[in-house]
Amino acid sequence: MGELLGNLALGFGTVLTVQGLVACLAGVTFGMFIGVLPGIGAMAAISVVLPITYYVQPTEALVMLAGIYYGAQYGGGITSILLNVPGTPSSTVVCLDGHPLARQGRAGPAIFMSAIASFSGGSIAIVCTAAFTPPIAEFALNFVSAEYFSLMVLGLLAAAALAQGSVVKGVAMVIVGLVLGLVGTDVTSGALRFTFGVMDLADGLNIVAIAMGLFGASEVISNLSRGAERRGEVLKVTWRQLVPTRDDLRRSVKPILRGATIGTWLGVLPGTGATISSFVAYAMEKRIAKDPSRFGRGAIEGVSAPEAANNAGAQGAFIPTLSLGIPGDPIMALMLGAMLIHGVNPGPGLLGEHPEIFWGLVASFWIGNLVLLIMNIPMIGLWVHILRVPYRLLYPSIILLICVGVYTINNNPFDIIVVSIFGAIGYAMGLARLSTAPMLLGYVLGPMLEENFRRALVLSRGDLMIFLERPVSALLLATTFVVLVYPAAKDLTRRLRRPRTE
């Protein structure tokens, strides 16, 4: 306990500086703003802001990006309640009971409990992050190249198998991402790979350009193609209406605790994250409720549990990213990419080599969640006004920020071309119902996967059995096999049990 308190003191000392506080405040404020605006999402927001992190220290960069991520989870609930339009995918389930409460004139209590649940869920997950990340990292310090390779294979394929959609499509997107990671100069032989004579590709594809294209530009194109314009009336909320009743508080305590627990543990798993956590928490509350018919008509538990779960899931996702260097979702992949940009190697060695970064990030979670709680309730009028910003002004501004941001990194117009190409690819993948997340994970982990594969073969003199002879590596590969086979077997069983019709 004394060591933990000492590490937290180091973290607060790192982040309680002018630069740290500005980065935290800027991140959570922008994240809240993005969460309130439907149709953008944290992924696009982080992609737009990523170029700015080139000009700040690693700790401030990660604090800012993390603040955008969990700040968007807060803001998404407001839009779901007032407009019945989720600001983020993880806030979709909040629409089921949040908007009915607003229609009953109880938007204020719903928003208040949403903020309290988000803060509570995030706080519980922060405690778990601080408690479990160091021992996991210490255990992983014993890994060699074979274990790292098997762990990355497990992370990649689990993310593809557990994510929504077809397992085959998910694995295919991982492979495409791995191929994209091979573009450029081979560090071992110096040979050019997949450059096709374009010398601008000699250094590989820019992760910022790829992310901005897949998640920023493609999102704008997708919304414009749907003719996205805000529908419905933005319900007004006054200060007096924010006060919940005692019954609201009593009904929300246990759902918040259950939702936070579900979100924390599901957030650790690759391919799950905040969205699935919120749906699982809602389903559990409905299952154990004495009167399930209340759900969908304005049950306060239907707001509290998912909001606690999605914020806990967002914080819990940092555990495998920081302790093992294995991102479980595309946002964590961008966080990992931001570390690599600054020369920081995420994984087991992070706590030993850069303790100020890890503990500063953990301390910023507390500060950021407290700032969001303060911002969420007193500034509700401001967020309601932001909901009235027309898309015809918003989207051109986003495109301009994307172009300026990606150009300023290398002062290279080719990066803007890459953004355009991947924007079109991301939009086409959306139409084909192909997930872009596994592709980005494959791109980020591809070079490290190749490096550890080669190193393991050098140590074993070319013998592939090294991946099966080492117990931990064999266990990880066996787990990968189960993760891949289980969804396919489950789908086959469901089809066989389906009654045949004439």
DSSP conformation letters of 31-66: HHHHHHSTTTHHHHHHHHHGGGGGGS-HHHHHHHHH
- In order along its 502 residues, the chain shows pLDDT tens digits of 667 778 888 888 888 889 889 989 988 888 888 877 765 667 777 877 878 877 888 888 888 988 888 888 777 777 777 776 666 667 777 888 887 888 887 877 888 888 888 888 888 888 888 888 888 888 777 778 888 888 888 878 877 765 556 778 888 888 998 999 889 888 778 888 888 888 888 888 887 788 778 877 887 788 777 665 544 455 555 556 667 788 888 888 899 999 888 888 877 776 556 667 888 888 888 888 888 888 888 888 888 888 888 888 888 888 888 887 777 667 787 788 888 877 787 777 887 888 888 888 888 888 888 888 777 767 766 766 666 667 677 778 778 877 877 787 778 888 889 989 998 998 898 888 887 778 887 888 888 888 889 989 888 888 888 898 888 889 988 988 887 777 667 667 777 776 554 4
* Domain housing 265: 2-490
Q: Give the type of residue at 44.
A: A
Within a domain: 84: yes
Which residues have C-beta within 8 Å of that of residue 106, sequence separation ≥ 6?
241, 298
Within a domain: 497: no
Within a domain: 90: yes
Within a domain: 103: yes
Within a domain: 500: no
Report d(CA 207, CA 428) in Å as an integer.
Answer: 19
Report d(CA 441, CA 436) in Å as an integer.
Answer: 9
Within a domain: 214: yes
- 192 three-class SS: strand
Q: Into how many domains does the chain fold?
A: 1
Within a domain: 352: yes
Burial 282-306 (b: 16+ CB within 10 A, else e): bebbbeebeeeebbeebbbbbbbbb
Contact, 376 vs 22, CB < 8 A?
no
- Residue whose token pair is 């080139």: 54
Side-chain half-sphere CA neighbours of 165 within 13 A: 20
Within a domain: 157: yes
Bridge partners of 193? Answer: 184
Bridge partners of 192? Answer: 185
